[in-house]
Each structure stands twice: as C-alpha cells, then as structure tokens.
C-alpha cells in the first residue's frame, strides 16, 4: 500500500464521519438516545471504511461490498448469539483486536516505511513518524495483552481475584521506564527499518509484558474501570496509527474513543471514591490482608424466606427500591423483574431501580439489561440520586448484587472494598436479598453483614426462578 495524499472529497468524507462519531457519543450518553447514537456510529464507520478503501485503490466497489458483507455478517451473527452476560468479555475481546491491529500496522510500517510514505529518499523514517510508530506499537501491545487478561478474568478462564506478584510496583515501573527509554533511543537514533536495530520489536515485547502485569493484580470489583480504561488505550493506539497512515478518520476516531474512555474511567473512579492510579496499582482486593477468600468468614444466623413471604410484604409496601447486580444478568431475570414491578405498580406501590456505577462487569451493564426489558428510563436512578431515599423505603429488593450494598465499604478499613460508595440498604424497613446460596460472597471476595441483619430476608434461589415465583404469588 502506498501512502496517498487524501483528495478533497476524501477529507470531506472523513469530516462527515467524524461529525457522525461525535453525534454517536452524544447519543450514547443517554439510554433514550442510544439507538440513534449507534446508528450514527455505524454510518460514520461505513463512510470512513469505504472512503479509505476507494482512496487507497485497494479494491473495486464489488470487492469492498463483499468485504463489508462478510464483516457485517460476522458482526450480526455474533451480536445475535452473544448472551447479555457475556457482553463484557466480548467488549474486552474487541479491545484486544484493536490493540493487535495497531501493533501489526506499526510493525508493517517499521518493516517497509517507504510504502507508508514515512521515510526519506535514504529510507530513514522521519523523526515524527518514529514517535507515532513507537507509541502506537507500545500502546497497542499493552491494550492487547491487558484485554486478553481482562477477557480471561471476565470469562472465568482465570480467577477474578487479584494475582499479587512480589515487588510488582518495582517491576512495573521498571518495565514502563525501560519502554520510555527505548522509545526515546529509537526516536533519537534516526533508525529506519529492521536493518537498523531491533528496538521496535523489543518495545513491543516489553509492552505485551506490562499489559499482562498491569491487569492481573486488579480484582473483580474494579473490572468495569478496567474495561473502560482498555477502551481508552485502544483509542489512543488507533489515533497513533492514524498519524502513521496519514488517515484523519483514524485520528479523529481514536482521539474520541481515547478521550471518552479516559473521562469515563475518571468518572467511575470518582463514583467509587478511588483514584485512577490506585486502581491501576492493584484495585480492590489487591491487599491480601483485608480481603476474603471467596467464602464467608463465619457461620452466622440469618433469616430465610419464600417467594410467598416476599410477595405478601411487597404488595403491602408503599415504596420499593430494586438494586440489580451481575446475578440478575447471569439468570437473565430482567424481564421477570419488570413484570414483578409492573404488578406492584398496578397495586399502587412506587417502584424505583437503583444503579451503581460498577454494578455488573462493564460500565452501563445494568442500564443495558433494564433497557432490554423496557424498564421506563424515568424509574432508573444512579447512586447519588437515590441513596438518600432508602430511609423512606419499605423494601430494598436486592437481586444479584453484593459488593455494591456491602456496608463494610463504609466501616471496615481492612476491607478490600473500603472507600467505595455503596447503597444504604440497611436503612430500609425491610431487605429482600436474592442469591443462589449462602456459600458464596461477592466478586471482591468479602462477606456481607446485610445477610445477617434483623430486617433482611434471604431468598436463596436462582434469581429468575425466585422472581417468577414472586410474580405467581402476586397474581
């Protein structure tokens, strides 16, 4: 592929696609406009891809349409087959592909800089292009290996608990410092392709390693932040490769993804009362002195109830707040939950949904599930908007959530979730807690005092089955 100066029509097309990407992000900021946002994004990407293929003269229109049909078909089948519970790991897998694409483009440019138009007549890569190439390769490699580990944790291929290496901070800072030094040496060396040093492959190898080491010590409670962070990395890698390829659409898209992902990560960290650096340095559960081992710490008395008991108290309530978590996603209970809420509202009960910023395994996971069940947007509230209402609630209905309602986050400094804002469910008059059994604890690996409160009734069952039984009892 020869580097081609973009004609005026191509620059205009890229500008249109950039505007559509901005509109897509704007639309995705609200559940009510998210469908339109997705359409804007798809239209923008279609324009960008077709413009690039036509401009570079890689193929004719027929070949382009065939390629789009194949790729679109794979995406369509994947989207229809993927379960909502598997969406976080699918996102992590997509991030890994973006990272690897950046690495491959960087290596191709390093191997044959003349074909990319980034070298002079003597074959020396321009200094600016060396910066872009090295940064794109490093960020892409970190994104790839980090996303692979995130996928493995989310998919259950490896433990979601933090994996702590001795002197991990020293190792990580040493490798990161080495990458920075090697990039500086490569930029200052004036080297061209593979015949003039092997700095780029070494940088890539170290970046693969640091991506792996950065993610393995991060515990499950921080996984939504990790997914958002890796999304940001993939954007910056794409932007760097956009400069190498001279493609303004990639630069715009990468910058939008990178900046939006970074902002989202920052917002989530603030919502969790955590610093971004503390998450990267280890995350919740990284301190072995304060976490659980996946089992309750002691056997304590608790109250167990039935669906009939819950139904009777629910229909007597005036206000019910539902707190969904990943267990709801695993059981696919959102539709039954919506049916239960509708029946309660018909009986005059006020029903609201409380969404924690890190509920589930990726940002917005619970919002997507509730939207799929057509829960009205006006009934869904974020933590800071509804937490003060638990004191007036007759029932706090917890379905599949755990860490986000654990009061240890407010009181136990030794807890791995200490400092994370949680719902004040203990202030509700009655708490119903749906979980499969008392034998497990939350993703962060700590026991929950809410199980044993006087006003708590444990509903031990599959979430969907229990809610369906409550619906039958209400009917």
Mean pLDDT within 79-104: 83
> Cα separation of 256 and 276, whole Å?
20
Instruction: Say what the alpha-carbon torsion angle 236, 195, 183, 257 is, to the nearest 10 degrees.
Output: 0
Using the predicted structure, report yes or no on whether residue 231 has a pLDDT greater than 70: yes
User: Mean pLDDT over residues 126-148, rounded?
Assistant: 90
What is the pLDDT, as a whole number, of residue 287? 47
| Final residue belonging to a domain, choices 66, 81, 96 | 81
H or E element in which residue 67 lies: helix 61-81
Q: Are residues 31 and 13 in the same domain?
A: yes
Which residues are 396's β-sheet partners?
A: 321, 431
| Same structural domain, 109 and 230 | yes
pTM to 2 decimal places:
0.75
Query: Is there a single domain that holds both residue 118 and residue 28?
Result: no
pLDDT value at residue 196: 56
Kindly state whether residue 455 falls inside one of the protein's structural domains.
yes
Q: Of the ranges 58-62, 80-84, 317-321, which one carries the lowest mean pLDDT score?
A: 58-62
Task: Point out the domain boundary residue: 31, 65, 81.
Answer: 81
Number of H helices, E strands in the chain: 17, 6
Catalytic residue among 222, 403, 424, 447: 403
213 in the same domain as 67 = no
In this predicted model, what pLDDT tens digit does every residue of 266-282 receive, in sequence order?
877 776 666 777 666 55
- φ, ψ (nearest 5 deg) of residue 418: -60, 135
Q: Domain total for the chain?
A: 3
Instruction: Confirm whether 226 is domain-assigned.
Output: yes
Give the DSSP per-residue string, 387-447: GGGGGG-SEEEEES--GGG-THHHH-TTSTTTT-----GGGSSEEEEEES-TT---TT---
Report, as an integer, the average pLDDT of 17-46. Answer: 87
Residue 458 φ then ψ, to 5°: -85, 130
pLDDT at 394 over 90: yes
Q: Is 267 helix (H, G, I), strand (E, B) or coil?
A: helix
CB within 8 Å of 432: residues ≥ 6 apart: 305, 310, 313, 314, 395, 396, 397, 398, 456, 457, 459
Domain assignment present for residue 287? The answer is no
Residue pLDDT, tens place only, 181-216: 999 988 887 655 565 568 899 999 999 999 988 888
pLDDT score, position 430: 94
CATH number at residue 403: 3.40.50.1220
Percent of the chain with pLDDT over 90: 28
Average pLDDT over residues 1-12: 69
pLDDT tens-digit map of 344-365 = 999 999 999 999 887 877 777 8
Residues 256 and 111 placed together within one structural domain of the fold: yes
> What's the whole-number mean pLDDT along residues 383-394?
92
Residue 403 falls in the annotated catalytic set? yes
């Amino acid at each position: 592929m020869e580097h081609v100066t973009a004609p005026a029509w191509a620059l205009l097309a890229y500008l249109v696609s950039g505007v559509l990407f901005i509109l897509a992000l704007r639309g995705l900021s609200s559940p009510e406009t998210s469908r339109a946002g997705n359409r804007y994004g798809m239209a923008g990407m279609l324009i960008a891809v077709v413009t690039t293929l036509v401009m570079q003269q890689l193929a004719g229109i027929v070949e382009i349409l065939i390629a789009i049909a194949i790729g679109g078909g794979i995406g369509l089948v994947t989207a229809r087959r993927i379960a909502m519970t598997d969406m976080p790991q699918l996102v992590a897998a997509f991030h890994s592909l973006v990272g690897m694409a950046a690495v491959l483009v960087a290596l191709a440019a390093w191997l044959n800089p003349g074909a990319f138009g980034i070298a002079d007549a003597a074959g020396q890569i321009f200094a600016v292009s060396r910066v872009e190439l090295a940064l794109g390769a490093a960020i892409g490699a970190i994104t790839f290996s980090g996303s692979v580990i995130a996928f493995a944790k989310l998919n259950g291929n490896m433990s979601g608990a933090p994996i702590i290496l001795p002197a991990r901070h020293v190792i990580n800072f040493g490798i990161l410092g080495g990458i920075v030094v090697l990039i500086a040496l490569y930029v200052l060396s004036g080297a061209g392709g593979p015949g003039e040093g092997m700095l780029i492959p070494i940088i890539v190898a170290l970046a693969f390693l640091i991506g792996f080491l950065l993610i393995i010590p991060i515990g499950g409670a921080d996984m939504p932040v990790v997914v958002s962070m890796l999304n940001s990395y993939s954007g910056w890698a794409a932007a760097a490769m956009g400069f190498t390829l001279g493609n303004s659409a990639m630069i715009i898209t990468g910058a939008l993804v990178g900046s939006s992902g970074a902002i989202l990560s920052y917002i989530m960290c603030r919502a969790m009362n955590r610093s971004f650096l503390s998450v990267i340095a280890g995350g919740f559960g990284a301190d072995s002195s304060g976490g659980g081992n996946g089992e309750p710490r002691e056997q304590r008395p608790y109250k167990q109830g039935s669906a009939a008991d819950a139904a009777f108290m629910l229909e007597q309530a005036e206000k019910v707040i539902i707190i969904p978590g990943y267990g709801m996603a695993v059981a696919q209970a959102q539709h039954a939950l919506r049916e239960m809420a509708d029946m309660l509202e018909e009986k005059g009960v006020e029903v609201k949904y409380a969404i924690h910023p890190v509920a589930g395994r990726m940002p917005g996971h619970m919002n997507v599930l509730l939207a799929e069940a057509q829960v009205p947007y006006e009934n869904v509230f974020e933590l800071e908007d509804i937490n003060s209402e638990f004191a007036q609630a007759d029932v706090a209905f917890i379905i599949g959530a755990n860490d986000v309602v654990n009061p240890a986050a407010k009181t136990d400094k030794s807890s791995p979730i200490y400092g994370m804002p949680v719902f004040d469910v203990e202030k509700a008059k009655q708490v119903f807690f749906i979980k499969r059994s008392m034998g497990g604890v939350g993703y962060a690996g700590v026991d929950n005092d809410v199980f044993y409160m006087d006003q708590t009734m444990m509903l031990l069952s599959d979430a969907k089955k229990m809610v369906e039984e409550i619906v039958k009892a209400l009917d």
